[in-house]
Amino acid sequence: MTVTITVNGADHSLDIDPATPLLYVLRDDLELNGAKYGCGLGQCGACTVHIDGKPAFSCLTPIGAVAGRRIRTVEGLGSAEAPGLLQQAFEKEQAAQCGYCIAGMLMRAQALLDRNPDPDEVQIRAHMQTNLCRCGTHMRILRAIRRAVAMRKGVHSAQEVRP
């Protein structure tokens, strides 16, 4: 069957089994390799993308369920040449170790900042708890999110982004 999806503002029509996971389509058909396959079970968040502005596990989302909906991937946040604010903050805090979880972390965090530009520490931690980092860089990831909040407010001192 033909399924049309909108990813990072571009429409794509695919002749595909509607049960195919969105993650496979992004990576194998559209060559958007930011989202990662971690568990395939909705337990790690490495595959997180936005569907209509909400974070979702693309490993569990059949492509047929997202026809006509807005999908945003980490590639839609910025590029190596022009990183988005959250990406800049992750880089400043050296949040990545192996980097496998980072696209999912960025998309999860971006969904929070899109709906609440000034979350407190409790809100950040509650929102991020679905995403796991096997390297254990959670504290740096949390610092990076706080830094992005501070950068948006025009506060740049590392001291000021600590909770």
Which residue number, 34 or 38, has a Cβ lying nearer to ligand FES?
A: 38
Which residue number, 1 or 98, has a Cβ lying nearer to ligand FES?
A: 98
Which residue number, 4 or 94, has a Cβ lying nearer to ligand FES?
A: 94
What are the residue ranges of helices labelled H in 4-163?
22-24, 85-92, 102-115, 121-128, 138-153
158 near 99, Cβ under 8 Å? no
Q: Given the rule CB under 6 A, which residues bind ligand FES?
A: 37-40, 42-47, 57, 59, 96-101, 133-135, 137
Which residue number, 40 or 152, has a Cβ lying nearer to ligand FES?
A: 40
Q: How far is the CB of 154 from ligand FES (least distance, A)?
A: 29
Q: How far is the CB of 78 from ligand FES (least distance, A)?
A: 19
Based on the number of CB atoms within 10 Å of its own CB, is 57 exposed (0-12), middle (13-18) or buried (19 or more)?
Answer: buried
15: three-class secondary structure by DSSP: strand
Q: How far is the CB of 160 from ligand FES (least distance, A)?
A: 25
Amino acid (1-letter code) at residue 85 = L
